[in-house]
Structure 1
Amino acid sequence: MVFAGTESFVRYQRDGANDWVNTVAAGTGAGAIYHTASGPRAMIAAAVLGGVLSGAAVAARPVLQRFAPEIVARWDNL
């Protein structure tokens, strides 16, 4: 829910643009929000990890689409 809310907020701030930047920013923001109470170092680490993992998911999508289209089709239906 944090990721989806952050992604919607980023899309709204970018005037409806829907690309990889929204996903990476949402992963970064969700990681930061989730670990805010743990202190600044944990928050920064979670933000970096969230951004990297969401960026990896965006980068892996074309590869999956080529080699495993059924996985991408299921992903789109979620």
Structure 2
Amino acid sequence: MELAFLRSLGGTIVKVMDEKGDKQLYTSARIEKISRNIENDTFDIALRVVGYEGPINPPYKLIRITLRIPGEGCSEY
């Protein structure tokens, strides 16, 4: 289930990496923590990926990302 969830977030992960200056591909995605804010109806997903340049060649870079997923009552990402 973790792999399927990470695959669904793939486009978002690449977009966040590009916006933050890490214009790389990534591998080895892992979810580190999922926390729920019941009051705001959101989920925070902390994950890490290993960024790389070229055909899985160095330099490698450990990148940590936290994504906030809004609930049904929220209108913004």
TM range (shorter): under 0.3
Between Structure 1 and Structure 2, the one with more strand by share is 2
